Structure 1
Amino acid sequence: MASGDVWPRRSRPGRRLSETRGSVRFPVSLKTAVAAVLALAAWPAVAEECATDRVDFRWLGGRAAFKIEIADTYNSRSLGLMYRKSLPLDAGMLFIYRSPQPVSFWMKNTLIPLDLLFIDENGKVTQIRRDARPGDLTPMPGPLDTLMVLEINGGLARRIGLPVDAQMRHPRLDQDVALWPCSEP
C-alpha cells in the first residue's frame, strides 16, 4: 500500500473501524455516517423542483430533504404515525392545516420516537420538539401560528444539525410569502 492511501482497519479492541491516512486517524461513527448519507442523499433532491411528496430544508451550513406522506384531513392527522413500527431515515409525515393555528400533539399509540418540527406560513421552523417518547400522553403544544408540522425519526434533527429558523420548501406553502419559494433552487 502506498503512503497516503486510505485503508480501513481496527484501531483498538472494542472501537469502531477507523481510516488511516498517513499517521492521522479519522474515526467513523454511526452518527457521522448517518449524517453524511442524509446530506449526500438530500443534496441532489434539493436541487430539483418542488414535489408534493418531498420537503426540502435549508439553513446556514446545511440542507436536507425528506420523502413525506401528507396528513391534511382530520382523519389522517388524527391517525398520523400511530402503530408504525419503523420509519425510514429519509422519511416523515407532514401535517398540513388550512390556516395558521395553535396545534398540540401527543404520542398515543405511537411506537417510535419522533422529532416534531413546527412550521409557520412562511416555511420557517419555529419550534422543534425533540425525541418525543413513544406512547407518551403529555400534550406537546406548538407555537400559535403553526401551519404545518413535520414528524421525523427521533433525534434526527439534532444529528443532521437542522435548527429552529431553518427554511422549508414545499408547494403547499403560499409561494408569495414563502421564505424559500419553489421558484428558487
Structure 2
Amino acid sequence: MRASLLRRLQPLFAALMLSLTSAGACYAQALEALSIVSGGQKQSFQVEVARNDADRAQGLMFRRSMPVDRGMLFDFGRVEPVAMWMQNTYLPLDMLFIRPDGTIARIAANTEPLSTRTISSGEPVLAVLELNAGTASRLGIKPGDRVEHPLFKH
C-alpha cells in the first residue's frame, strides 16, 4: 500500500521540486565586478545589478544568506532622491547611496530586516549598493569614497 502511494505521489514531488527550482532561478542574475576605493585600498565585490522596476522591487527579498564578497546594485536610471525598505528582506544590510560620479553620498548601516520603515538617500542619487550588514564598518568604507563600476562616470 505504501509503495503504491509513493508511486502516485512521486510525480507531484517532481513537479514541486521543478517549480521550486524555477522559482529560485529568478534570483540567479549574472554577476558583475564592482570595487570600492576607500583609504587607498580597493575592495572588490561581485554584484547583481537591478536595472528594471521588477528587479528593483524584488531586490534581495526572501534570501537567507549572501556571500561576504557579494551584493546588489540598484540602478535607478536617473538621478533623484530614493527611498528603500526591507520588507520581506531577511538579511540585515548596509545600503550605500551613490551619486552619478560614483561617490558615496550616504551609508545606512545595519538596516533592520523585515522592516517597512523607509530609508532615504538624503539627496539625489543614481544608485544604491546593498552589502551584508557590517561590511562598510569592517572595511572602513565611508561617505565620499568612490565606487568603481561601468554605471558611474568618473
Which TM-score band applies after superposition, normalised by the shorter structure?
A: 0.7 to 0.9
Q: Does 1:55 align with 2:34?
A: yes
1:5-24 matches, cutoff 5 A: none
Aligned length: 124
Counterpart of 2:138, as a letter, is R
CA contact (8 A) 2:38 2:140 kept: no
> For 2:148, which of 162, 169, 176 is the aligned residue?
169
- Aligned position for 2:83: 104
Structure 2 runs not aligned, ≥5 long: 1-30
CA contact (8 A) 1:56 1:63 kept: yes
Structure 1 runs not aligned, ≥5 long: 1-51, 179-185
- Aligned position for 1:90: 69
Percent of paired sites with the same residue:
34
- Aligned position for 2:122: 143
**Structure 1 residue 149: deviation in Å?**
0.4
Q: CA RMSD in A?
A: 1.1
**Structure 1 residue 144: deviation in Å?**
2.6
- Which of structure 1's runs of 4+ aligned residues deviate more than 4 A? none
CA contact (8 A) 1:97 1:148 kept: yes
**Structure 1 residue 95: deviation in Å?**
0.2
The CA deviation string for residues 76-115 of structure 1, in whole angstroms up to 9 with x for no partner, is 0001000001010000000001111110011000011000
Q: Does 1:128 align with 2:107?
A: yes
CA contact (8 A) 1:128 1:164 kept: yes
CA contact (8 A) 2:105 2:123 kept: no
> For 2:47, which of 36, 53, 68 is the aligned residue?
68
- TM (norm. structure 1) is 0.65
**Which one scores higher on RCO, CA 8 angstroms, separation ≥ 6?**
2
Counterpart of 1:139, as a letter, is T
> For 2:71 and 2:122, how far apart are their aligned partners in 1?
20
> For 1:59 and 1:90, how far apart are their aligned partners in 2?
16
Matched position secondary structure for 2:57:
helix
**Relative to total residues, which structure has the larger helix share, 1 or 2?**
2
